[in-house]
Amino acid sequence: MGHIAYSYLKGKIDRFKPTPSGNPHLWMLVDAGPDSFFATVNVQSSKDAPGSPVAETYLDFFIDEDYRNPVLNRIRELEPGLQDQTTSYDAGALDYIKGNLFDPRKMRVLPSQSQGGDDLVHRLSGLLTLAREQNDDIVIFGSQFRTSPHQTDAVFGETPRFGIDNTHMAQGDPPDIDERLHENGPWHDGAIFLLSTNTDRVTAIFLAFQTQSWQTDSHGQQVDASTGFEAPRYDFAGGGLGNPMPAPPPKAELTSLNRLADGTGKLVVANMSSKPLDVSGWSVTTPTSSFPLPATTIEPGQPLAVVLTDDLITDAGGILSLLDDRGLRVDEVAYSGGPAAGWSTCFAD
């Protein structure tokens, strides 16, 4: 487990500002009742090896301005302030890989700041400005720390006693980085959520480093393998932002889930490849359960209907992962559930 004091901060945005040159973060002051807290958000990586192309320090990011996921049920109920967060799915902790928060293939890269162009600070600042003007709540997951004396005086004219950092994915670091930082672990990833006070709309902001792996073991350590269900890798040989490198085509996808009146569910797995797919040893998992797929072969483009027991699905909404015979994630979905009498969900984009 990484050395992270996993916590969340919930409150109202007071002020924010990019830090001085050479310190690639966006700093924020967040008010929670009478207390003020400091939040520091990475907008560029400092984990890369010296001499690496600058574009490799750009963060992977994904912003969803109408975010929908069962985890929001727990996030909405959080009390204001800087609070310890239990590292488990049931407690509302975040895990980019095991928690099915979003499709990592949708992540992109941007420079932290640029001369008049599109950049990460510009995008985040626009979202934070609107949230502040609308008096929206902000929820930040990360690592709690005690600030240094006068740490933010030069930027804000004051320094709160406590702050939160590691507001990004905190697993999958390669061994040489993890030996130095000790941040790898499950169910303690960071993220930012902007909760509208006028509607049920939520904006979610997810950040990660290009050096991090999107296949990890139960301890959050890097697994050197790929299924195509990972954030894109980029070819920066031509300079600039580069182009996403081709990923392996998806072998299979979870396409729909039907909850039957008796509590069981029918999950449909489709072979998305052009060849017969042997799913022997494959499984469907939740954070607490696992269900093996039948030892069979699915023909190209064909579906396989799998009956799930009632301990694997819930009417309140949940998550399902499709793992291959190596235990690697091939696909993941989140579903919203429905009435006990039965419901149906389609996972097609």
- State yes or no: pLDDT of 326 exceeds 70: yes
The string of pLDDT tens digits covering residues 143-185 is 999 999 999 999 999 999 999 999 999 999 999 999 998 999 9
Confirm if 271 and 348 have CB atoms less than 8 A apart.
no
Burial of 138 (0-12, 13-18, 19+ CB in 10 A): buried
Confidence (pLDDT) at 169 = 98
The contacts of residue 50 (CB under 8 Å, 6+ apart) are: none
Nearest to 14 by CA among 156, 195, 123, 170: 156
Q: DSSP letter at 216?
A: B
Confidence (pLDDT) at 48 = 63
Mean pLDDT of 300-326: 93
The string of pLDDT tens digits covering residues 110-144 is 988 887 778 999 999 999 999 999 999 999 999 99
Mean pLDDT of 49-68: 86
The string of pLDDT tens digits covering residues 238-288 is 666 778 888 888 899 999 999 998 888 999 999 999 999 999 999 999 998
Confidence (pLDDT) at 54 = 80
Mean pLDDT of 103-107: 95
Confidence (pLDDT) at 243 = 80
The ranges of the chain annotated as CATH 2.60.40.2830 are: 252-346
Q: What's the whole-model pTM score? A: 0.94
Cα Rg of the chain, angstroms: 21
Confidence (pLDDT) at 195 = 98
Mean pLDDT of 288-297: 94
Looking from the CA of 166 toward its CB, the CA atoms found within 13 Å total: 23
Confidence (pLDDT) at 241 = 74
The string of pLDDT tens digits covering residues 18-43 is 987 667 899 999 999 999 999 999 99
Mean pLDDT of 35-57: 83
Structure tokens that stand for 108 in this block: 């992109």
d(CA 106, CA 110): 13
Q: What does the mean pLDDT of the chain come to?
A: 92
Name which residue leads in pLDDT, 305 or 47: 305
Confidence band, pLDDT 50/70/90 cuts, at residue 302? very high
Q: Which residue has the tokens 């359960």?
A: 289
Confidence (pLDDT) at 318 = 93
Q: Which residue has the tokens 């980029």?
A: 234
Choosing among 3.90.800.10, 2.60.40.2830, 2.30.38.10, 3.30.70.270, the CATH entry for 252-346 is 2.60.40.2830
Report how far apart, in Å, the C-alpha atoms of 226 and of each of 141, 201, 213 are: 27, 34, 9
Confidence (pLDDT) at 17 = 94
Dihedral pair phi/psi, residue 9, rounded to 5°: -125, 125
Confidence (pLDDT) at 102 = 96
The contacts of residue 201 (CB under 8 Å, 6+ apart) are: 65, 66
